[in-house]
Structure 1
Amino acid sequence: MMKRLSPVIEWFTLLFCTGTVLSFLIAILWDLTAKGWPSLSWQFITELPSEGMTKGGILPAITGTVMLTLLTAVLAVPLGISCAIYLNEYAKDNWLTRLIRASIRNLSGVPSIIYGLFGLALFVQGMHMGTSMLAAGFTLGLLSLPYIISTTEEALRRIPASTREAALAVGATQFESIRDVVLPSALPGILTGVVLTLSRAAGETAPILFTGVAFYINGSSGYLNQEFMALPYHLYMLSTQHQAIEQVRPLAYGTALVLVMVVFFLNLTAFYIRYKYRNNE
């Protein structure tokens, strides 16, 4: 049996690891902000790209990212929460349930590019959706499902069994106890998991690469049956594929900074939700 380290050594080890991670994070954010901040302006956020995407703004990419994230939420959140409720509250603890849970955990580790190829085969070609925001939304919805199911089920497990038994003891049905007692108590954890999952989906490039994203669209990206622009793919193209990479590099850094702000805002929303509900308990 290994001898446990002293609390002081454990504390310094934890502090060192945390400081190392934070130092890299601060260095990346500092470099990104220093190079991307000069490009940020009201015109950059509200205008369309122009002159071969060497000038103008990123409004279609922002609109497409927001619309795609909302579509992903509509497709994945109700189904994912419902699956988690069934697995945790209704399903019996047998080999089949354990196999389903193991499969969900394994799906969480599948590379996102595989989801993109699957979405291309199923939604774009098999269901004849074509390259569109709808096909990309379904693909990102599938990618998000394992994370939403896992985080929701974990939040439900944290609710003591005595809470359910108390609701049943006063005459509530199992459905009523879940709806009126269990879900409200688990809501902070569920919402936190959902928002963090959606923030990850908003930054994905590979799943939408084959299913609907476009390099440039002269107009709105808000139609479900059409191709769209998105911030992650826009950043990828400006950074690696544009014919005038050096000329558009400041725009690439500005796009990256906007994407980081969007993801940071979603993560901040998750932390605020958890803080608010903890104070209300």
Structure 2
Amino acid sequence: MTRPTDRFEGTSNYIATQDLKIAVNAAVALERPLLIKGEPGTGKTVLAYEMAAALNAPLITWHIKSTTKAHNGLYEYDAVSRLRDSQLGDERVHDVRNYLKPGKLWEAFTSPVRPILLIDEIDKADIEFPNDLLQELDRMEFFVQETGETIRAAVRPIVVITSNNEKELPDAFLRRCFFHYIRFPDDETMKAIVDVHFPAIKPRLVSEALKTFYEIRDTPGLKKKPSTSELLDWLKLLMVDDVQPETLREKSPNKLIPPLHGALLKNEQDVHLFERLAFLNRREGARPGG
């Protein structure tokens, strides 16, 4: 059996920058939650999965929604089912534990080996949600009112928390985390990411595609910049359709919108923006002496 390790150095499937490796290992050493922020599509959620693979640890995922409450992560008590069973004379009603559904924190705290607990997109929940978890994440324990027992972590889990910056997180919560912002990959890092996913792709296609991709991201007025995951989808389509690098390199006014742009531009506002730019370029090209 492979023994767990305490160092994260990235994986063959995940290109981790040096500062990200330092952040992960610092959070593990300090036994503090690792708060990861960054643009959507920069690999925040995937990081927890790759940490679990690299550290040989079980992964427990808690995906947060707008309706999620902190107590959902501890446990839920099904009083309605217990009442129904009592009316039917079911013997299960004599043990309240039959009606307790453990949450993700309960699952993490009772894991026999150190797990990784992913609290994904914490900023989707109510503003009070992070504060409601302060004591549990600090002390790694919580009290079960219905049974009078305390659920305490046998081994302290590695906690990874992701945020898309949709709302500010409370200062008291931030003080208890080790923070890292995943910057959008530069050209060299992106080439390494592409190589992991498409090792047989033509280098010239990657080079031209990345030029187009970063030009799109740098376009003023863009409502949603394309992400790494959308770039990978686009490259896959370019390979399937056997699009040549020369096609991407062509900069005539009629070709301003890249082929298969639906993988990169995800709303009508941005498509219309590029159509307007194409129209302006065509008009400029049509002028005498242009």
Q: Check whether TM > 0.5.
A: no
**Going by fraction, where is strand more abundant, 1 or 2?**
2
TM-score range, shorter chain: under 0.3
Structure having the higher Rg: 2
Greater RCO between the two (CA within 8 Å, min separation 6)? 1
* TM-score when normalising by structure 1: 0.20
**Going by fraction, where is helix more abundant, 1 or 2?**
1
